[in-house]
Chains A and B, each alone.
Chain A
């Protein structure tokens, strides 16, 4: 019963509408196309996000190799290096670096030179001493880029390593750290070595003389004293 009435009523409506159509009213035309612009916008955004995060999420690494530790019962003669080629760098606190040439001598203290990590700071000091090797490496890389030398990318690194190995004029840099030095500066100074192309550098422990020198430069009382009798390693 209900179904029948429903049917009949709809039928009637259609007929009625048809009657309307017969008049002047035009039927509404619905377009089948949907506006996709917002969707495209969102997708663009997401794609850019995923592209950028996948490409740049990998952090870079800087390699350092430290010399093997000398075992307690092993006797190894420390390598002899020329004082004239030695450059001591002490990384201090507050982004300051101190340097002095030669060997620390408690009798005749060399004043520390203070500088920083800017492009005109410690980099120039190192560059002044390492100019020959730096120029050689730069020239070599230029030749490879311009096509004068035909070398594969992986052998380029070993060629540069060989250049560094053969170098005998550049400085031998001893890097030491004051106890208040930050890890950031630790990375900075090793980074400077690779920027300037220093062939020989080593990270060693600071000794009491140098600690005193830094403290004098900072204007604070000395915290370390000379070890009694035995020389500090």
Chain B
């Protein structure tokens, strides 16, 4: 009887194609991942059943932090031609007799993080070297009727970009009167449609009357 020859096989699998594919995917995801700008304050948004996604462009966001500071941000997504952000800041500067240099405007355009800075501190805020120094100026935008800078931000954001949508990102523990104040400011500037930023949470509707049957 002839001897059956068992082919000698190595238990190792060649992983090179797998690694190739993985590196390709990794590079793709790393490049497409959009870096989220640093938030100046932690905000725990409430839950809702809404499945509508946040728009990418034409948005202004009013952030209400749990310590009652109010932040503002204008985001135009990836566009680089329209230069809404520097225009808004320039208008704001004109109102308060502050002239921003082109460098400052460019810096403001590049760093699209929410800001809660009094306009009088804005030059110092833009000149700040690191985020720690910058955070010292994040005292919240004044919303009192004596110096309502938030209303002006909203006004100029709407003047520069008439199709802007208002987003409200509030912390769940903020009390209603402050929310009402922010809503009033927006409504005074004829913004009646708001999008509240929430996290998705599914709910089941159980009808007790049906359950009894």
Whether A43 pairs with B176 at a CB distance below 8 angstroms is no
B interface residues, how many (CB within 8 angstroms): 59
- Binding-face segment, B90-98, B148-156, B194-202: B194-202
Among candidates A59, A91, A119, A183, residue contacting B172 with C-beta atoms closer than 8 Å: A183
- Please indicate the chain A residues that have their CB under 8 angstroms from the CB of B183 in the complex: 66
Determine whether B207 belongs to the interface, using a CB cutoff of 8 Å to chain A: yes
- Please indicate the chain B residues that have their CB under 8 angstroms from the CB of A51 in the complex: 29
- Binding-face segment, A98-106, A158-166, A186-194: A186-194
Interface residues of B in 179-208 (CB under 8 A from A): 179-180, 183, 187-188, 190, 192-200, 203-208
- Binding-face segment, A15-23, A33-41, A79-87, A107-115: A33-41
Alpha-carbon distance A123/B204, docked complex (angstroms): 11
Among candidates A39, A66, A68, A134, residue contacting B194 with C-beta atoms closer than 8 Å: A66
CB of B12, distance to nearest CB on chain A (Å): 6
- Please indicate the chain A residues that have their CB under 8 angstroms from the CB of B32 in the complex: 54
Whether A182 pairs with B172 at a CB distance below 8 angstroms is yes
CB of B135, distance to nearest CB on chain A (Å): 23
Alpha-carbon distance A154/B171, docked complex (angstroms): 32
- Please indicate the chain A residues that have their CB under 8 angstroms from the CB of B179 in the complex: 183, 186
Whether A47 pairs with B25 at a CB distance below 8 angstroms is yes
Whether A183 pairs with B46 at a CB distance below 8 angstroms is yes
CB of B205, distance to nearest CB on chain A (Å): 6
- Please indicate the chain A residues that have their CB under 8 angstroms from the CB of B22 in the complex: 40, 43-44, 47
Whether B19 pairs with A60 at a CB distance below 8 angstroms is no
Among candidates A37, A47, A67, residue contacting B26 with C-beta atoms closer than 8 Å: A47
- Please indicate the chain B residues that have their CB under 8 angstroms from the CB of A127 in the complex: 205, 207
Determine whether A196 belongs to the interface, using a CB cutoff of 8 Å to chain B: yes
Given contacts A120-B208, A179-B176, A184-B173, contact A191 B50 (CB under 8 A): yes
Whether A123 pairs with B205 at a CB distance below 8 angstroms is yes
Determine whether A57 belongs to the interface, using a CB cutoff of 8 Å to chain B: yes
Interface residues of A in 43-97 (CB under 8 A from B): 43-44, 46-47, 50-51, 53-54, 57-69, 91
Among residues of A, the one whose C-beta sits closest to the C-beta of B172 is A184
CB of B173, distance to nearest CB on chain A (Å): 6
Whether A119 pairs with B18 at a CB distance below 8 angstroms is no
Alpha-carbon distance A188/B174, docked complex (angstroms): 13
Using CB atoms and an 8 Å cutoff, list the residues of chain A in contact with chain B.
Answer: 33, 36-37, 39-40, 43-44, 46-47, 50-51, 53-54, 57-69, 91, 119-120, 123-124, 127-128, 131, 134, 177-184, 186-188, 190-191, 194-196
